[in-house]
Amino acid sequence: MFDAAHAFGCSYRSRMIGNFGSAEVFSFHATKSFNTFEGGAIVTNDDGLAAKIRLMKNFGFCGYDDIEYIGTNGKMTEVAAAMGLTGLESLDEFVECNRRNYQQYKRELGGLPGVRLLAWNESERCNYQYIVIEVEEQLTEMGRDQLIQALHAENILAPLFLSGLSPDGAIPVVLPACRIAAIGNRAGGAQSHGSAHRKRHRRGGKFRHLPRNMAGHGERARSEPCFG
Ligand SMILES: Cc1ncc(COP(=O)(O)O)c(C=O)c1O
């Protein structure tokens, strides 16, 4: 059984995630590009297992009053399902927006010493949900925690929860896929999934909390919006 929490819409070796092992579990939590506020899905190609799981999510009920199997209340609420259906309609658009943000991060961060962008394999299907950079403190002159603080001070909520995964000791920082503002351009180039985001980033202003080399990069990015 595989944890596929983040991998909705992604492939591995040209095979869509959801087709591996006995079963895989996707998370549809609100932090994912496809979400139902909370919830998820178990997917399997095994009809027998699927039938058992269907029983389990509804207290093991089969028919009106027949309990056939152990179970729990694992049903998705209708409001959550409605959110999911809406998200499905726009999924391609979200992924495309994430992809463009990834490309722009790649372009803009490419020349920064000590900052390495984790590259996605673009021959696979990818949801580009996360933009991960690895930071080499000696070169950036700013530690991971300081960088996170600086980003947060700019209202860029880069999370730390995937830290410590890098095999060679570089420190990963996850940048928000839906806010290109991490590397500049509050003047209109921010790519987000909603107009509220866009309004927030139109205020203008400099990145006071970032190291000079990163803030300078942001300034150059200002005239290069790549959305739309
Ligand atoms: C790798 C991994 N597995 C499982 C989960 C849990 O997902 P959920 O919040 O939908 O329970 C997460 C949460 O993001 C995760 O990162």
State the closest ligand 1 atom to the C-alpha of 29, by its place in the atom list counted from 1: 10
Give ligand 1 pocket residues (Cβ under 6 A): 3, 5-6, 27, 29, 40
CB 214 within 8 A of CB 112: yes
Which amino acid appears at position 180 of this protein?
I
Which of 10, 24, 27, 31 has most ligand 1 atoms within 8 Å of its beta carbon, as the pocket-test mutant? 27
Looking at ligand 1, which residue's alpha carbon is closest to its atom 9?
29
Cα angle vertex 200, ends 197, 202, to 5°?
110
For helices 212-221 and 78-109, what crossing angle results, to 10°?
100
Q: Residue-wise pLDDT tens for the chain (228 aa)? A: 999 999 999 999 999 999 999 999 999 999 898 999 999 999 999 999 999 999 999 999 998 889 999 999 999 999 999 999 999 999 999 999 999 999 999 999 888 898 889 899 989 999 998 888 888 888 888 888 888 888 889 888 887 765 555 555 556 677 765 443 333 333 333 344 444 344 444 334 445 565 555 554 443 333 333 332
Q: What global pTM score does this model have? A: 0.74
Name the residue at shortest CA distance from atom 16 of ligand 1: 5
Domains of the chain: 2-82 (3.40.640.10), 90-215 (3.90.1150.10)
The atom number, within ligand 1, closest to the CA of 40 reads 10
Secondary structure (DSSP) of 15-64: EETTSSSS-EEEE--TTSSS--SS-EEEE-S-HHHHHHHHHHHBTTEETT
At 134, which helix (H) or strand (E)? strand 130-135
Task: Please provide the size of the chain in residues.
Answer: 228
Q: In whole angstroms, what is the distance from residue 173 CA to residue 150 CA?
A: 12
